[in-house]
Structure 1
Amino acid sequence: MNYAFRDFDESQFIKLHQAFIGAFSEYFVTFQPPLEQFRNRIFNKLHLLPSLSLMAWHKDEMVGFMLHTVNVYQGKVTAYNGGTGVIPSHQRSHIATQLYEILLGRMRDQGTITRVLLEVVEQNTKAARFYESLGFQFTRVLRCFSLQGELPKISPDIEVKKSDLLKTEYLTHLSFQPSFLDSTSQLPHNLANEIILEARIGESLAGHLVFQPQNGRISRVAVHKDFRQQGVASALIQNALMRSGDPKLTVMNIPEDEHPTIEALKAMGFHNELNQFELELII
C-alpha cells in the first residue's frame, strides 16, 4: 500500500484519537483514554512537538502515528517518544520503520538533540525487538503500581493541604530522579491538570504529592529523608484518594533499584501491576 506521511496538525486531533484507540485496542493492558483525557495527555502531559510528530495516512484515514516532545532530561537534550501506534489492519506494513526513518533524520539535522528516550511495556517483546533493531538500547526497568480499595492509616499529627506552586523546595524530598514525563523540566506543562498536595508536621514541610485527579495518576510522591517512615506518604495518598475522580490510584515508572520507595508503596497497599523497559537511542 502507498502511505502519505504528514506532520501533526491540531485539526487532526479527533482522527489521532481514533487512530490511538484503534492501535491500542488489542494491547496488553487497557489503554483507551476518553477524548478529554487524551487531549490533556497529548497537549499538556506530553506537550507534543508537531515538527517531530508524524502521522501515516492511507487515503483519508490516519493509520499510524509517532509522537515526540523535546526537553532537557538528566542534563541532555532528549526527544521523548510519547506514543507510537499502527491500527491493526495496517500493521506489518513497516509504517513505524518509515516514521522513524523520517523523524530520526530530522532530529539529526537539528543538531541539538542528543538522544531519543521511550518506554515499552515488558510483555511487548515485539515492540522491544523493533526498537532494538533501530539501535535503541535498554537502560533500566521501571515498575508501575496501583492502589484500589483500602485507605492507608494516617497520623493525626500530619496536616495535608493543597499548594498552588511546584516549589523548588520539593526537590529536597526526592530520593531519585523521576522518569521523563514527571521530571522537573517536563511536569510544569501539565500543572493545570494536576493537584499539588503538601504534608506538614508542625512547621516543617515533610513531603509532597502531585497527581491528576481525573484519572488517579500520581505524578510524584516524595518525603523528606528526615520524615520518612512516619506516615507522611500515607497521609498524602489518603488525601489524593479523597480528591480523585478515579477510585484507582496509580504510580508509574519507579526505577527497579529504588527499593525503599518500592517497599513503602507495598506497605501502603500498592501492587506492582506491570513493568516497563526504558530504552535509549544515542543520535
Structure 2
Amino acid sequence: MSNMAIQFKTLESTEIPELLEVFNSAFSDYALPMRMEEAIFLRKLFIEGVSLGFSAGAFDGDKLVGFILHGLDEFNGEKRVFNAATGVVQSHRGQRLAKQMYNYILPVLKAQGYRHHQLEVLNGNIKAERAYEKVGFRKSRDLFGYEGTVAPQIIPAVEIKEVKYLDWIKVQSFWDVQPAWQNHTPTVQRTMKDQKIIAAYVEGNLAGYLVYDTVNGRSKQFAVKKEYRRQGIGTALLANVTQALGKVNFVNYDDNDKGAKAFFDALGLKPNYHLHEMTLVYS
C-alpha cells in the first residue's frame, strides 16, 4: 500500500473503542502478547499520564492503523514524555510508520517545551530498537521484572505496618536508582486509592518501605534507608507482600542497582523479563 494514503494526526478525536481495537490488533503477535479490556486500557492511559492530544496516529483514510501513546509529566522541573506504547497493525507494517509518526509529533511536543523522551523496548526486539535509533533514541539502561516468594520473617526490632501516607520527598533519599516511568512517584500518586504502602520502622524511625498496586499486584517502589540495610528489613517487607499477594512481582527494576540485584538473587526472586530503556534528549 502506498504511503500517499496515510495521514498523521493526534489522537484527541479518536474514540477509545477504536483505539483499543487497534491497540489489541497491533500487540496480538507481540513477543509478550497483550490484550486489554477497556477498563484496564483506560487505567493504563490514566496511570501513565497519556495525553491523546499529544499522541500520534497514522490513518489510512479515516481508519487508524498505527499509534504512539504519549504520557506527559514533569520531574524536577523538567518536562518529560514517555512512549507508553507504539503499535502498527500487521497490514501496514514495513512502511516506517513509527518513524513518520515521530516526525509528525516531535515538533508538536517541542513547541510545548518537551525535549526529553523515553521509552522501553523488550530485549531481543531488534527491529523496534533499530527503528527508534533511526529517530535518535539511544539505550540508557536495562530494566528487569522479578518474581518469586519470600518466607515469613519475624525481626523483633522491626515493626512492619501498612500506612496511608509517605513523605515522598524524604524517601527519595533511600533510593540508589531512579524508578522507571511506571513506578515513579507522580505515576504512583495518580492512583493512590489502589496503592498499598508497607512501611518498616526501627525505634519509631522509618527504615524502609514498599508500595504495591492492589489491582495488578505489581510492586512499584521498594527501598531501605542506607543505615538500616543488611538487618533483614528488606526481606521482612518482601515477606509481607508475599503473605498478602501470594508472591512478589516487581516491574521494571533498574539493573544498575547491583545491590538490589544481588539481594533479589539471594532471596530466590527470578528475572521474568528484560527491557531496554531508551532516551532522546535535544535542546
Shift of 1:59: 4.7
The one-letter code sitting in structure 2 at the alignment partner of 1:63 is V
Summarize the Cα distance change of 1:163–1:144 in structure 2 as closer, same or farther, 3 Å threshold: same
The one-letter code sitting in structure 2 at the alignment partner of 1:62 is L
| Residue among 63, 66, 69 paired with 2:65 | 63
**Tell me, which stretches of 5 or more residues in structure 2 are unaligned?**
none
Residue in 2 aligned with 1:48?
A: 50
C-alpha separation between the residues in 1 aligned to 2:12 and 2:212? 29
The answer on 1:267 being equivalent to 2:270 is: no
C-alpha separation between the residues in 2 aligned to 1:141 and 1:16? 29
Residue in 1 aligned with 2:101?
A: 99
Residue in 2 aligned with 1:24?
A: 27
C-alpha separation between the residues in 2 aligned to 1:194 and 1:33? 21
The two structures have a TM-score, normalised by structure 1, of 0.88
Residue in 2 aligned with 1:78?
A: 80
Secondary structure of 2:185 counterpart:
coil
- Contact preservation (8 Å) 2:120, 2:277: yes
Shift of 1:121: 1.1
The one-letter code sitting in structure 2 at the alignment partner of 1:29 is L
- 1:96-134: per-residue Cα shift (whole Å, max 9, x none)? 122111111212222x22221111111111000000011
C-alpha separation between the residues in 2 aligned to 1:166 and 1:99? 40
Residue in 2 aligned with 1:144?
A: 145
- 1:215-249: per-residue Cα shift (whole Å, max 9, x none)? 121111111112222222222223323443xx554
The one-letter code sitting in structure 1 at the alignment partner of 2:40 is Q
C-alpha separation between the residues in 2 aligned to 1:188 and 1:78? 17
The two structures have a TM-score, normalised by structure 2, of 0.88
Q: What is the number of residues matched between the two proteins?
A: 277
- 1:67-116: per-residue Cα shift (whole Å, max 9, x none)? 11222336632211111111222212322122111111212222x22221
Residue in 2 aligned with 1:281?
A: 280
Shift of 1:274: 2.1
Secondary structure of 1:257 counterpart:
coil
Shift of 1:30: 3.9
- 1:28-64: per-residue Cα shift (whole Å, max 9, x none)? 2243344322221111x21112221122333554321
C-alpha separation between the residues in 2 aligned to 1:269 and 1:33? 31
Shift of 1:9: 3.5
Summarize the Cα distance change of 1:80–1:24 in structure 2 as closer, same or farther, 3 Å threshold: same
RMSD (Å), alpha carbons: 2.3
Shift of 1:260: 0.5
Summarize the Cα distance change of 1:163–1:62 in structure 2 as closer, same or farther, 3 Å threshold: farther
The one-letter code sitting in structure 1 at the alignment partner of 2:140 is T
Q: Which stretch of the first structure deviates more once superposed, 180-189 or 126-135? A: 180-189
- Contact preservation (8 Å) 2:188, 2:195: no
| Residue among 37, 40, 62 paired with 1:37 | 40
Secondary structure of 1:229 counterpart:
coil
- Contact preservation (8 Å) 1:54, 1:66: yes
- Contact preservation (8 Å) 2:119, 2:277: yes
- Contact preservation (8 Å) 2:22, 2:89: yes
Summarize the Cα distance change of 1:90–1:193 in structure 2 as closer, same or farther, 3 Å threshold: farther
- Contact preservation (8 Å) 1:46, 1:69: yes
- 1:160-208: per-residue Cα shift (whole Å, max 9, x none)? 2222223233223222221233223443223233222212234121211
Taking the TM superposition and a 5 Å limit, the aligned residue runs for 1:1-283 are: 1=1, 2-9=5-12, 12-43=15-46, 45-59=47-61, 61-73=63-75, 76-110=78-112, 112-147=113-148, 150-157=149-156, 158-168=158-168, 169-244=170-245, 247=246, 249-283=248-282
The one-letter code sitting in structure 2 at the alignment partner of 1:252 is V
The one-letter code sitting in structure 1 at the alignment partner of 2:238 is I
C-alpha separation between the residues in 1 aligned to 2:231 and 2:34? 35
Summarize the Cα distance change of 1:166–1:99 in structure 2 as closer, same or farther, 3 Å threshold: farther
C-alpha separation between the residues in 1 aligned to 2:141 and 2:102? 22
C-alpha separation between the residues in 2 aligned to 1:153 and 1:20? 41
Secondary structure of 1:172 counterpart:
helix
**Tell me, which stretches of 5 or more residues in structure 1 are unaligned?**
none
